Structure 1
């Protein structure tokens, strides 16, 4: 089950009000952004009624979401701005009608050396950042985008890894990610990303490089850089959600 960004805010307000009264704040292992991810989590966090209500008013499941794929580099300034100012805010509000795939590789190159199999545009730290993010995507699933946004919007991407991981995926230890980076899995994930990047048609000439439903056009790229939110609303083929139309959203606070 999925929830809107507004619903997360609503839940936070709701339980904040509960904590000030006679009802204790619910204890669960998951952050609010994941409360409606599954029925099991909703039950554990005591929000199943609210999640079911939101799910019932969600978008038509028969209409495919807009597929957004970002080819990027972990230390590319333009990529970091796009992730923090366009992609993540848009996904936060419109994740019911869009999916995001992250491919950290960009302008990197594969080398024949076994000790240093990749070279990156912004040096060795970027190669490490790319591989860390590839491992995080592989290991943390639903939380990956939140972790990577946390890293990319921080002052220092690499120093932010462990606190961002602890914040959004506390069940995944840093040692697990570090083992992926230092072992064969990390190299394989980067080779996979290299293959995906080489397969782009037309071939990428810069990053960030964004495709929509598997296709790239300069027109869509220009729109994405200026207002990704409006572009996703435009490309979605189903009934537009209230966020796209500007219609007011009424939240039932009766169960607080």
Structure 2
């Protein structure tokens, strides 16, 4: 009678492999998630996908054309930021990571203060200050896997509690101890100060979050487009030959801010 409990797992495995099983053999399990299989030759060899990664690299856009630079200024517990990361930024990056470069700046509407138990005050209280700090450390340590981890955290019911399991899922070679050390030492404070400086330097100054710049510039027109269909905007802004996925129909979502 335990068979029904296994059915969702079976269906999930089927849905993940259906599109590629005809042309590519299913690779054996390895300790890296599929999104990282082609990140380096060593990982490709371990996961036995060298041939598939070589084919993928052969179809990537011309790197002589710079990718679209997308910088997100946000705060970890802002509902609108969480929605933008999980429903716009991460899905768009998943499909267009070859033509876009993402910079995450967790700080948002926080303020640096010279007194008190914490050097910062945050719009959504002390838990958000801690969340900003944890995500700043994760971004600094994990680099290539950062957006996947942050999206995993922001999609969870409890952002802070999800930090360690999301790190283990998307960056298994990175120890939680390294993140914890960053949070509890001066490195985390320096990272947060850097984010504060970057946020204060915005021109025009930010008035809400999420605040998104493209190639270092902010315009209300691009913000409107990004909040309704970031995917379509990145395809539009890319100056090189558009990847085939850009020919799909856009899906527009409602916008919100903090």
TM-score by length of 2: 0.86
Question: Is it true that 1:198 corresponds to 2:200 in the alignment?
Answer: yes
In 2, the alpha carbon distance for the partners of 1:10 and 1:141 equals: 28
Q: Counterparts in 2 of 1:22-41, with a 5 A limit?
A: 26-41=28-43
How far 1:12 sits from its partner (Å)? 8.8
Which consecutive unaligned segments of at least 5 residues does structure 2 have?
1-15, 250-258
In 2, the alpha carbon distance for the partners of 1:98 and 1:10 equals: 26
Q: Counterparts in 2 of 1:1-256, with a 5 A limit?
A: 13-14=20-21, 26-113=28-115, 115-246=117-248
1:221 is paired with a residue whose SS is helix
1:88 is paired with a residue whose SS is helix
In 2, the alpha carbon distance for the partners of 1:229 and 1:103 equals: 20
**RMSD value over aligned CA atoms?**
2.0
Contact persistence 1:12–1:32 (CA under 8 A) = no
How far 1:28 sits from its partner (Å)? 3.0
Aligned residues: 233
Q: Which moved more, 1:229-238 or 1:31-40?
A: 31-40
TM-score by length of 1: 0.86
Contact persistence 1:11–1:32 (CA under 8 A) = no
In 2, the alpha carbon distance for the partners of 1:160 and 1:62 equals: 38
In 1, the alpha carbon distance for the partners of 2:125 and 2:148 equals: 25
Q: Which moved more, 1:129-138 or 1:178-187?
A: 178-187
1:137 is paired with a residue whose SS is helix
In 2, the alpha carbon distance for the partners of 1:185 and 1:137 equals: 12
Identify if the C-alpha distance between structure 1 residues 89 and 28 changes in structure 2 by more than 3 Å, giving closer, same or farther. Answer: same
Identify if the C-alpha distance between structure 1 residues 10 and 61 changes in structure 2 by more than 3 Å, giving closer, same or farther. Answer: farther
In 2, the alpha carbon distance for the partners of 1:59 and 1:141 equals: 22
In 1, the alpha carbon distance for the partners of 2:148 and 2:136 equals: 14
In 2, the alpha carbon distance for the partners of 1:47 and 1:140 equals: 23
How far 1:101 sits from its partner (Å)? 0.5
